[in-house]
Amino acid sequence: MKKTAHWGLRLLSQVLFLALFFCTATAAWADQLKIGVILAETGPASFLGGPAVRSLRMLESELAGGISGNQLQLIYRDSGGSPEKAVSFARQLIEEEKVFAIIGPSTSGETLKIKKICEDAGVILISCASAELIVKPVTPWVFKTAPSDSFAARRIFMTMNEMSIASIAVLTDNTGFGKAGKDQLLTIAPEYGISIVENETYDKDATDLTSLVAKIKANPEVQAVVNWSVVPAQSIIAKNIRQTGWNVPIFQSHGFANIKYVEAAGAAAEGIIFPASRLMIADLLPDGPQKNFLMKYKSGYEAKYSESVSTFGGHAYDAMLIIKQAMETAGAEPAKIRAALENIKGFYGTAGEFNLTPADHCGLGIDAFTMLTVKNGRFAPLKKE
């Protein structure tokens, strides 16, 4: 009888131990929140996704202690810039991993393919791409941290007005980013009295655009060229133009804000003009909170990875910090985090000052862009602000 009682007590203690273990484990698991990351770490858009992944991994170590008592797990997926892969990964992250938010994708085309998937699932999407279509019209669960392409177009046209440029050629790649940029350029140009006298689209995988350059060069009305893409053709266009001896002013989109494009173009990059965030010239800014924030990110990234920062890494960095701020305000419930995102005010990120509202899910204005040029192989302000 005593032996039976002894085994009964042992069994009871084991049951209680297991119950306590599973309750503790369940509580721990409940406190761990998952964020999906869909970025083009490899492939032709790796100039975008690579720095973004590295920025997030750097930030992960800083957030190792969690946010407001909640541990975070970032689950990375490399889309290679493919909209089809982005769709597959978004569904897998939502349905299998049960993420409450997704950071990315890197490109506008990918983002536009998955935004409805996230919206229907009630999962926060913070895109690192810039097309205004991502957040206009506003949908509750979709945000972005890159300044809108319409502001980039306006800054380009404002600079052209200052340079007395009135007729231009527009070249765009056949990605979602290129299409959205072309739409903005065509729509906004008349407001600034600018005529688009050549309008061409090229394949994103093109390796030689000599014939396209010859066509637009033959038009004597062309006073400047605007190229809008995020693929290696940004550098190819510049080289092909300069190889012909044509000294026409070259404008690029904000997608040019990675020094690797300059390195790829070599001497042909000299003098290219483009809009970008002040992150690219952080060390030249006046002392103050904005410079301090930008230099912290820039110095940390460059020391860790031995490469220059780009605005594209900054967009992912901003996305994670915005989620962090929303969680510190609202806790761990996705619907409350989403609502808190709509009310972030005065947050300085790498892209500028974010002021989000229920009607504005980007929160950046035209002042997020400044006009830069390439001087002696480096980014420099086009003019003193």
Tell me what pLDDT residue 232 has. Answer: 83
Tell me what pLDDT residue 385 has. Answer: 59
Our count of domains for the chain comes to: 2
> Is pLDDT at 286 greater than 50 in this prediction?
yes
Tell me what pLDDT residue 22 has. Answer: 39
Residue 385 domain-assigned? no
CATH code of residue 133: 3.40.50.2300
Percent of the chain predicted with pLDDT > 70: 91
What is the average pLDDT across 242-255?
96
Please check whether residues 60 and 126 belong to one and the same domain. yes
CA distance 197 to 199: 7
Please check whether residues 154 and 269 belong to one and the same domain. yes
Q: Is the peptide bond before 105 cis (omega within 30 degrees of 0)?
A: yes
Q: Which of 221, 167, 154 is CA-nearest to residue 193? A: 167
Please check whether residues 154 and 270 belong to one and the same domain. yes
CA distance 55 to 148: 21
Residue-wise burial string across 228-263, b where 16 or more C-beta atoms lie within 10 A, e elsewhere: bbbbbbbbbbbbbbbeeeeebbbbbbbbbbbbbbbe
- Per-residue pLDDT reduced to its tens digit, 179-212: 999 999 999 999 999 999 999 999 988 999 999 9
- With bands split at pLDDT 50, 70 and 90, how would you rate the model's confidence at 139? very high
What is the average pLDDT across 212-234?
94
Q: Which of 31, 61, 184, 39 is CA-nearest to residue 125? A: 39
> Is pLDDT at 18 greater than 70 in this prediction?
no
What is the average pLDDT across 242-251?
97
CB 184 within 8 A of CB 170: no
- With bands split at pLDDT 50, 70 and 90, how would you rate the model's confidence at 381? very high
Domain of 95? 30-147+290-363
Query: Could you say which of 276, 307, 332 is where a domain stops?
Result: 276
Percent of the chain predicted with pLDDT > 90: 81
Q: Which of 162, 161, 134, 160 is CA-nearest to residue 148? A: 134
Is pTM, for the whole model, over 0.75? yes
Please check whether residues 159 and 270 belong to one and the same domain. yes
- Per-residue pLDDT reduced to its tens digit, 28-43: 334 579 999 999 999 9
Tell me what pLDDT residue 30 has. Answer: 43
What is the average pLDDT across 233-247?
95
Residue 21 domain-assigned? no
CA distance 327 to 36: 16
CB 264 within 8 A of CB 240: no
CA distance 190 to 350: 31
Please check whether residues 179 and 231 belong to one and the same domain. yes
Residue 96 domain-assigned? yes
> Is pLDDT at 20 greater than 50 in this prediction?
no
Residue 372 domain-assigned? no
Tell me what pLDDT residue 7 has. Answer: 45
What is the average pLDDT across 55-80?
92
Residue-wise burial string across 93-107, b where 16 or more C-beta atoms lie within 10 A, e elsewhere: bbeeeebbbbbbbbb
Please check whether residues 137 and 228 belong to one and the same domain. no
> Is pLDDT at 46 greater than 50 in this prediction?
yes
What is the average pLDDT across 36-65?
93
CA distance 131 to 374: 24
Q: Which of 284, 276, 280 is CA-nearest to residue 297? A: 280
Q: Which of 184, 118, 147, 188 is CA-nearest to residue 360? A: 147
Please check whether residues 132 and 234 belong to one and the same domain. no
Residue 57 domain-assigned? yes
Residue type, 346: G
Q: Is the peptide bond before 51 cis (omega within 30 degrees of 0)?
A: no
Please check whether residues 242 and 262 belong to one and the same domain. yes
